[in-house]
Amino acid sequence: MVKREALERHQIAVYLVAIVLGIAAGLLGEPLGRGMQPLISPLLAVLLYGMFTLIPFLKLREALANGRFMGALLLTNFVVVPLIVWGLLTLFPQTEAALIGVCLVLLTPCIDYVIVFTALGKGDEKAITAATPVLFVLQLALLPLYLNLFAGKEAAALVEAGPFVEAFLTLIVLPLAAAVLTQLWAKHGERAGQANRAGARVLDAAAWLPVPAMALVLIAVTASQIGRIVSDPVPVLRVLPIYIGFLLLAPIAAALVGRLLKLEDGSGRALIFSAFTRNSLVVLPLALALPGEAAGAAAAVIVAQTLIELLGELIYVRAVPGLLWRGKRGS
């Protein structure tokens, strides 16, 4: 029987296969690819619910207790990373829709599979897990500010309030509320004893959702967008230097911050993975809420970042402990 931990360890391979299947499905015929687009929103809702159930929202105190790591995490993700993104966008200007897509994905730190990659890279996955509620709340609070600062008024004007708020409520707030209620249900069951374990069973079942749901989302997104990318590859090609530059600069900057704040080996590696692993699937609903052709362009740009990042993870799970943060005893 396949264990959830084994599935998570091999999730990069699962996602790459999903992307290949999506590309193949989209290239077989435009009607097939476009027909998968209506599946994206319900699949995203399931994915985000599963992801949110894994975030320890009921353990905020534990996250705040590790003050030095939390300070380094916030400084890196909400000051250093935005400065890197600003510099890259200055060097490589983008169209309005692509600009919004880049800002959405690069300015939001990952809150889910970063935990698995941190563990694979010999980082402190418990510290990054405890910090995910703070990262999630802050990125949602700061994202409107970042969009206005980085995208400018003309690009920000593409973000129509109605569809944007609807996507935020239905695809982020509702799954989040359901996940928190599930956690509360499970916690209440623990207090009630073995007689009331239904909540814990639901929570355990939900933990299986993220990897297969994300694979299905990647299939649907790539199948529905690959035709657009093939017919007009310029927007995606123009953002590749930004993503490659980010993948090179963010880990180095995070390592410098970690050394400056004298983090322990595990915490330093966790900081590096948080710096370059982004929240692509959480912000995808917001990109799809853009009007007309802008939605497809922004979504294609976000999917491109996901692919570049997954390839980067294959390198960094070895490079972080072996090169960027080797540790005092090779730990």
More confident residue, 194 or 323: 323
- Cα 108 from Cα 274, distance rounded (Å): 10
Please, which residues have CB within 8 angstroms of residue 4's CB and are 6 or more apart in sequence? 207, 208
Please check whether residue 186 lies inside any domain of the structure.
no
The DSSP code sequence of 17-46 is: HHHHHHHHHHHH-HHHHHHTHHHHHHHHHH
The per-residue pLDDT for range 164-219, each reduced to its tens digit, is 677 778 877 898 899 989 988 888 777 766 556 788 889 999 989 988 998 998 89
Residue range(s) defining the domain that contains residue 220: 4-171+208-319
What's the first-to-final CA gap in the chain, in angstroms? 32
How many Å is the Cα radius of gyration of the chain?
A: 19
- Cα 36 from Cα 38, distance rounded (Å): 6
Residue 45: closest CA among 263, 266, 214, 287: 214
The per-residue pLDDT for range 100-155, each reduced to its tens digit, is 999 999 999 998 778 888 988 999 988 888 888 888 888 888 888 898 899 877 66
Please check whether residue 51 lies inside any domain of the structure.
yes
The per-residue pLDDT for range 10-35, each reduced to its tens digit, is 887 888 899 899 999 998 877 888 88
How many domains does the chain contain in total?
1
CATH number at 159 reads: 1.20.1530.20
Is the model's pLDDT at 282 over the cut of 80?
A: no
Is the model's pLDDT at 287 over the cut of 90?
A: no
Task: Please give the pLDDT value at position 328.
Answer: 67
Task: Please give the pLDDT value at position 60.
Answer: 63
Is the model's pLDDT at 261 over the cut of 90?
A: yes
